[in-house]
Amino acid sequence: MRVLVIGGGGREHALCWKIARSPLCEQLFACPGNAGIAEVASLVHFDVTDHSDVLESCSEFGIDLVIVGPEAPLCDGLADTLRAAGIAVFGPSAAASQLEGSKAWAKAFMARHGVPTADAWAFDDADALSAHLSTCPVPVVVKADGLAGGKGVLICMNREEALEAARAMTTEARFGDAASCVVVEEFMVGEEASVFALVEGDTVVPLQPLQDHKRRFDGDQGPNTGGMGAYTPVPAVDGAMLQRIVDEVLVPVAEGLCTEGTPYRGLLYAGLMLTDEGPRVVEFNCRFGDPECQPLLLALDSDLLPLLAATAKGELAGVEAPVFAGGASLCVVLVSEGYPGSYPTGRRIDGLESLAGREDVVVFHAGTVEVDGHTETAGGRVLGVTARGPSVEEARRLAYEAVELISFEGMGFRNDIAHRALSRG
């Protein structure tokens, strides 16, 4: 199979690393890729927003399967264009991607299909939004409706913060078009977990649950980021809880999309709050999480390519379930100084060679670039140091040992990845 992966972050490096190991992979291409991806795939360059350019490149390189990493091209209908041209693609249609692309749409969809989530109200009028926030119970959560790169959620602990959030969402440029509609949600309390599933029509194949660490600093302090680390498995999601999430969330979503005439084909990411009343949805994403994809694929023993290809071709019901042989995996994200705010780039990264060739530790690249034979930083999230071991403790020990071997000026990371799993004793 000739495969094209779209994207250039840590998630796409993990996808390429895993796909390149498949005996079914004849040749692997990535657009735009990064310095790590270049070690396992041929980098190609085209404009992902120009669909005719994408189709031309697919034909030039003889692509049999396209895997779309990030959400923006999916919400923009790239999977629809490719499918209409007869190219197999792993990733949902623009219609089904609204689960991520519009929080108001996702909320209304969940209400139609009885999926448990926080109560919510959508506003496209600034006065009505302020009026609601002046009287609603607090804490309350205020969200920009559209894609905001993980920065469109404001948790307001009191009335003052709620009114400030209303002002910010409706006036500040940082939320842009994403906040032309604002969703206000009831605040939920509990431990968070992410459950990913391959979904094709009404077939749902759940993968091993994960936990992300969204805040920048230890102890879940500081601003929200794209994700500072992740690990799997998650003690809070045992087999019974996973089955509940499949039955109460994933299957109703897959079936609901079929009923509405927009069946799903790709990876469905359910961000969940494990509340006293049971699992409730915080958000859906229409693609693998980043950095969650990195430890997930290091922990996966099965060949990934047949699973992605079967999902893309409408044959998921016939494939063997993915195997995670009981091991754990953990990823520590190394970030540039200043992230998630502005940060410098072009800083030389040392120590990567000392980890090359390891099977238990893989350093996935995110914002990196190769310059004159060495690797430099080129983004906020730079590397995902990912280790696999027999337990979360062991994977964590290996990952942090590896972090010690890497350095660049201003390098930052969290020291407490998996603290929830480990504090359970």
Q: Which amino acid is at 243?
A: Q
DSSP secondary structure, 318-379, as one string: GSPPP---S-EEEEEEEE-TTTTS-----PBPB-GGGGTT-SSEEEEESSEEEETTEEEE-S
Task: Select the binding partner of residue 285 from ligand GLY, ligand AMP, none (C-beta < 5 to 8 A, by kind).
Answer: ligand GLY
Pattern 145-174, ligand GLY, x by CB under 6 A = -----x------------------------
Is 100 an interacting residue with respect to ligand AMP (CB under 6 A)?
no
Does position 232 interact with ligand GLY (CB under 6 A)? The reply is no
Question: Residue 312, interface with ligand AMP (CB under 6 A)?
Answer: no
Question: Measured at the alpha carbon of residue 389, what is the angle toward residues 384 and 392, in degrees to the nearest 5?
Answer: 80
141 binds ligand AMP (CB under 6 A): yes
Q: Which does 188 bind (CB under 5 to 8 A by kind): ligand GLY, ligand AMP, none?
A: ligand AMP
Q: Provide the residue type at 417 as one letter.
A: I
Answer yes or no: are the C-beta atoms of 298 and 358 closer than 8 Å: no
12 touches ligand GLY (CB under 6 A):
no
Tell me how far apart the alpha carbons of residues 337 and 339 are, in angstroms, rounded to a whole number: 6
Q: Which is nearer to ligand GLY, 141 or 166 (CB)?
A: 141
Binding mask 256-295 for ligand GLY (x = CB under 6 A): -----------------------------x---xx-x---
By CB under 6 A, residue 212 contacts ligand GLY: yes
Distances from the Cα of 183 to the Cα of 38, 102, 169, 281, angstroms: 40, 10, 10, 15
Strands 215-217 and 265-275: unpaired
The single residue among 91, 227, 233, 279 that binds ligand GLY, judged by CB under 6 A, is 227
Per CB under 6 A, the list member of 58, 188, 241, 270 interacting with ligand AMP is 188
Q: Is 225 in the site for ligand GLY (CB under 6 A)?
A: no
Q: Does 242 bind ligand AMP (CB under 6 A)?
A: no
Taking CB within 5 to 8 Å according to partner kind, which of ligand GLY, ligand AMP, none is near residue 292? ligand GLY
- Neighbouring-strand partners of residue 192: 273
121 binds, among ligand GLY, ligand AMP, none (CB under 5 to 8 A by kind): none
Among 18, 214, 216, 265, binds ligand AMP (CB under 6 A): 214
Partner that binds at residue 282, options ligand GLY, ligand AMP, none, CB closer than 5 to 8 Å by kind: ligand AMP
Of the candidates 12, 7, 10, which has an alpha carbon nearest to the alpha carbon of residue 385? 10
Q: In what order do the strands lie in the sheet with 191-200?
A: 203-206, 191-200, 265-275, 278-285
Owner of token pair 């906020």? 380
Residues 6+ apart with CB under 8 A from 332: 228, 229, 384, 385, 386, 399, 400, 403, 413, 414, 417
d(CA 396, CA 372): 33
118 binds, among ligand GLY, ligand AMP, none (CB under 5 to 8 A by kind): ligand AMP
Give the binding site for ligand AMP (CB under 6 A): 118, 141, 150, 153, 155, 185, 187-188, 192, 214, 271, 282-283
Give the binding site for ligand GLY (CB under 6 A): 150, 212, 226-227, 285, 289-290, 292
